[in-house]
Amino acid sequence: MSKNMIIGQSGGPTAVINASLAGAIECAFALDEIGTVYGMVNGIQGLLDDNVIDLNERFENNLSRLNRLSMTPAMYLGSCRYKLSDDDSEYEKIIEALKKYDIGYFFYIGGNDSMDTVDKLSRYAVKNNIDIKIVGIPKTIDNDLMGIDHSPGFGSAAKYIALAVRNVAYDTSIYSIKSVHIIEAMGRNAGWLAASSVLARDSKNVAPHLIYLPEIPFSAQRFVNDVKEKLSEYNSVIVVASEGLKDENGEYISAKNNVDKFGHVMLSGTGNYLKSLVEEHIGCKVRALEPSILQRSAGHTASLTDMTEAQNLGAVAVRAAVRGETGVFSTLHRTSDNPYSIKYSTEKVSVIANAEKTVPLEWITESKNDVTQEMVDYLKPLVRGMPQVPYRDGLPDYVGIAYLDMKKQKYKD
């Protein structure tokens, strides 16, 4: 006897969250155990508001549209940042909503916070003998999830950063005057994205010249000395800095310290602070670049490796739920760097929830301003391949957004 499934997306966007959605949908369509595939619009919040849509209507018998969905950045179903309370009545409401749609399988694509939701909800269901399998599908550009070799979304953002740094290196190399360009990468307290700028280097380009990760306490004095030393060798010096750099006292060097409701500190201004150090202590031409959200939503330059893995992790989660697993997330482990090889499996979601995986200190050079070959070997396979994004009039022909679909009452775009 088949049961229906429901899927939602949560947290911040990446270039390939919709690939996980498409992978889960495609897998579900092929399984007899699953009836209708529903989507929560704006995550758990949408479920509570009965903002639920039928994904069979939108994608069954239209696999080419499902393929385009994989290549559409951000979240087709919309997001939310909804933190489950510990109040039983909230869980009861969720279970009630799920029963209304005869849901046997619940999937949530997201990061640490979303996995916390999966963890709590699955424990509640088990404790109360409710037969709904609850499974997480991981994502985050920050690559700070535990229990997985690297998180889907990271490879595409890493590729964006490496592309940007390589292009900026060419752009800034053309003048014979001294200049410093500082590129601020996202990543909160983990330096993975800043580190991935190392991939911009090849036999023709040595930039970035300096890379600063939040795993190492930041010293303004050391930074100024580093930049001066590089300027003595190169006209154009490119610095990549992680948004989450902290000084020796553990204070963010960024001016603004706003805290969101999960207790995450929201940062901005790290690049601008470093720029002011160069202005004050060196005095050459200096620019701070902040790709900001452009680095997480660049569907047109996603990594094919990342996109394929995101799709597969969607399918792995669906098969695990149908096999009877709950309170787990789909994951991947690396078996070899070269040739690159991974194995998919599932793991208890408790290992991922509310924890952060930072860069191992031994992957940072002794000079504290660069990364080691181990880091390069780790990163290199993750950015490979370009998806064949369909273009129309010179721009990517993405699938629309679910809530706009609803407004317009048209599902085929």
Catalytic residues: 142
Instruction: Give the neighbor-by-neighbor strand order of the sheet with 210-212.
Output: 210-212, 236-242, 179-185, 285-289
Return the closest-CA partner of residue 372 out of 143, 195, 161. 195
Q: How many angstroms from the chain centroid is the CA of residue 289?
A: 21
| Member of 175, 354, 356, 374 binding a copy of itself (CB under 8 A) | 175
364 three-class SS: strand
CB of 246 to a copy of itself, least distance (A): 23
Q: Are 114 and 122 in contact (CB under 8 A)?
A: no
| Member of 125, 135, 168, 274 binding a copy of itself (CB under 8 A) | 168
| 248, HSE (Cβ side, Cα atoms, 13 Å) | 5
Q: Would you say 13 or 23 has its CB closer to a copy of itself?
A: 13
Report residue 321 as tokens: 């739920």
Residues 13-72 that bind a copy of itself (CB under 8 A): 13, 42, 45, 72
Pairwise CA distance, residues 166 & 374, whole Å? 21
35 three-class SS: strand
Residues 6+ away with beta carbon under 8 Å from 396: 71, 299, 300, 389, 390
| Member of 190, 199, 245, 328 binding a copy of itself (CB under 8 A) | 199
Q: Are 341 and 127 in contact (CB under 8 A)?
A: no
Crossing angle between the packed helical segments 304-322 and 154-172, to the nearest 10 degrees: 170
Q: Would you say 219 or 272 has its CB closer to a copy of itself?
A: 272
Choices 112-120, 145-153, 160-168, 187-195; region in contact with a copy of itself by CB under 8 A: 160-168
Q: Are 72 and 18 in contact (CB under 8 A)?
A: yes
| Member of 9, 151, 197, 331 binding a copy of itself (CB under 8 A) | 9
| Bridge partners, residue 289, by sequence | 183
| Member of 4, 67, 70, 79 binding a copy of itself (CB under 8 A) | 79
| Member of 62, 173, 219, 365 binding a copy of itself (CB under 8 A) | 173
Per CB under 8 A, 157 contacts a copy of itself: no
Choices 56-64, 116-124, 298-306, 311-319; region in contact with a copy of itself by CB under 8 A: 298-306
CB of 170 to a copy of itself, least distance (A): 4
Pairwise CA distance, residues 181 & 236, whole Å? 8
Q: Would you say 125 or 193 has its CB closer to a copy of itself?
A: 193
CB of 124 to a copy of itself, least distance (A): 25
Per CB under 8 A, 340 contacts a copy of itself: no
Q: Would you say 42 or 358 has its CB closer to a copy of itself?
A: 42
Report residue 227 as tokens: 């930049």
Per CB under 8 A, 386 contacts a copy of itself: yes
Q: Are 134 and 350 in contact (CB under 8 A)?
A: no
Per CB under 8 A, 84 contacts a copy of itself: no
| Bridge partners, residue 241, by sequence | 184, 212
Site string for a copy of itself, 202-241 (x = CB under 8 A): xxxx------------------------------------
Per CB under 8 A, 289 contacts a copy of itself: yes
**The Cα angle at residue 7 between residues 131 and 61, in degrees rounded to 5:** 115
Q: Would you say 356 or 377 has its CB closer to a copy of itself?
A: 377
List interacting residues with a copy of itself (CB under 8 A): 9, 13, 42, 45, 72-75, 78-81, 159, 162-164, 166-168, 170-176, 181, 199-200, 202-205, 287, 289-294, 296-301, 303, 305, 380, 383-386, 391-401, 403-404, 413
